[in-house]
Amino acid sequence: MDECRPILNTGLRGFTVATTKISDVDGKAGKLLYRGYLAKDLAHGTSFEEVIFLLLYERLPDKKELADIKALIANEMRVPQVVLQALELSPKNALPMDILQAGVAMLAQHDPDVTEYSREAALRMGLRLIAKMPTIVTAWNRIREGKSPVAPDPELGHAANFLYMLTNEKPDDDITAFFNAGLVLHAEHSFNASTFSARQVASTRAHMYSAITAGIGSLSGELHGGANTRVMQMLMEIDSTDKVDGYVNNILKTGGKIMGLGHAVYQTDDPRAYILAPMSKQMGERTGNPKWYELSELLEQKGKEAFKREKGKEIYVNVDFYSASLYYYMGIPIDLFTPVFAVSRIAGWTAHVIEEQFGGAAPKPVLYRPDAEYVGDYCGPDECSFVPLDDR
Ligand SMILES: CC(C)(COP(=O)(O)OP(=O)(O)OC[C@H]1O[C@@H](n2cnc3c(N)ncnc32)[C@H](O)[C@@H]1OP(=O)(O)O)[C@@H](O)C(=O)NCCC(=O)NCCS
């Protein structure tokens, strides 16, 4: 054992493992840039399809390119019938993220590009996944509710199509714009846990679908993408503003977490949170039920105060905090919040898989293979001597 080697028991925090040209997160300044553009600028009025183009083709599209990518995605949204049949056979209480992960793995079986290792094939697979994941998520929700899946409408944009396939009703412009902003803001966030998972798998030269199923698994956890569902469950548990103080104090005393607060990178409020918060507020007013927004606002304030009091340091709000009430107001089922995150983050994941495998930033694709320091038994100074089963 090399005594001088540093032991990193830090979840790789603060260690740079690669270079990327896809996005930059400035944790101190609270800035998020996609290929040089501020995400907050893109969130106001830029379609999710423009962001997909930006992430995958490294620049914003012109009008024709945007029309082309929209048509391409719309034409790829349908999933093979056998995939829908498999969803029909799944237990109705299956977790939607498990269904999505399994659905993506099934899609691989129908994609002729899985055996071709090229940038072009990876791009085609990535675009198919971007197109088909909303179909799986919405079809699953309808199937578990005993309804038939709704086929995508090629005339609708990506955001509107998701809501249409979920409800069988065309959403109005405001709701579509809010949902589109949510998709834009969740599309990419550098080397977060799920993106790193996807890149790590991609580094073995496994195909796009394998990398993305790893990303979906990673995103499902409550410390990562699963937090948005947990935020809404927490709001429902608290239920009224007079219980916020008691809830916060109890959580901090028992070593629990206030979901939607804290971030591994931001040392200030997450810039995405305060773009989504006013949308949640507007949806609260529009639905005549401001309770969930007001509860969120108070919980943020009280949570921050109590954290400072208990731990002597600041804690900040993250993207999941206000997206929860926003999605809830839109009528999206609570356990679909994290799949909605995946329907957006697939844009960033696919860009990263392509960058990992075919360069763009790194000098040459590498296989991730970190070290771990063995701290287990040696049975003395040497290795353990093996004892056959009968003699133990
Ligand atoms: C996201 C998260 C994992 C980042 O955590 P982190 O960088 O590991 O934070 P740290 O471990 O440095 O936390 C420092 C301290 O703050 C506490 N803390 C961090 N987030 C907290 C939260 N949301 N509520 C209560 N305490 C929290 C930790 O328990 C730790 O306490 P300790 O020093 O007494 O052990 C964490 O903030 C968290 O779990 N948040 C809630 C889940 C969430 O919203 N996830 C979505 C992230 S986008």
On whether both 319 and 338 belong to a single domain, the answer is: no
| Inside any domain, residue 17 | no
| Inside any domain, residue 213 | yes
257 lines ligand 1 (CB under 6 A): yes
| Inside any domain, residue 388 | no
- Tell me the C-alpha distance between 97 and 130, whole Å: 16
Task: Return the best residue to mutate from 229, 257, 320 for the ligand 1 pocket (most ligand atoms within 8 A of CB).
Answer: 257
Ligand 1 atom nearest to CA at 319:
48
Mean pLDDT for 255-284 is 96
Give residue 90 CA to ligand 1 midpoint distance, Å. Answer: 35
Q: Tens of pLDDT along 316-358? A: 999 999 999 999 999 999 999 999 999 999 999 999 999 999 9
Q: Tens of pLDDT along 84-94? A: 999 999 999 99
Q: Count other Cβ atoms within 10 Å, centred on residue 330.
A: 21
- Tell me the C-alpha distance between 358 and 213, whole Å: 20
The residues annotated as belonging to the active site are 224, 263, 320
Q: Tens of pLDDT along 35-72? A: 999 999 999 889 999 999 999 999 999 999 999 999 99
Q: Tens of pLDDT along 242-261? A: 999 999 999 999 999 999 99
- Give, using CA atoms, the residue closest to atom 36 of ligand 1: 262
pLDDT reported for residue 2: 44
CATH of the domain at 255: 1.10.230.10
On whether both 243 and 212 belong to a single domain, the answer is: no
> Would you state the structure tokens that stand for residue 158, as one six-digit string?
């990506």
219 lines ligand 1 (CB under 6 A): no
On whether both 320 and 339 belong to a single domain, the answer is: no
On whether both 60 and 182 belong to a single domain, the answer is: yes
Report the number of secondary-structure helices (H) and strands (E) in the chain.
16, 3
- Tell me the C-alpha distance between 84 and 364, whole Å: 39
| Tokens 């591994």 found at | 264
pLDDT reported for residue 9: 61
Give residue 263 CA to ligand 1 midpoint distance, Å. Answer: 7
Whether this model's pTM surpasses 0.75: yes
- Tell me the C-alpha distance between 57 and 59, whole Å: 6
Give residue 77 CA to ligand 1 midpoint distance, Å. Answer: 37
On whether both 67 and 111 belong to a single domain, the answer is: yes
Mean pLDDT, rounded, of the chain: 94
Q: Tens of pLDDT along 9-30? A: 678 888 888 899 999 999 999 9
**CB of 24 closer than 8 Å to CB of 33:** yes
Q: Domain tally for the chain?
A: 2
Give residue 107 CA to ligand 1 midpoint distance, Å. Answer: 35
pLDDT reported for residue 314: 97
227 lines ligand 1 (CB under 6 A): yes
pLDDT reported for residue 359: 84
Is the model's pLDDT at 170 over the cut of 90? yes
Q: Count other Cβ atoms within 10 Å, centred on residue 1.
A: 8
Q: What range defines the domain where residue 234 resides?
A: 227-328
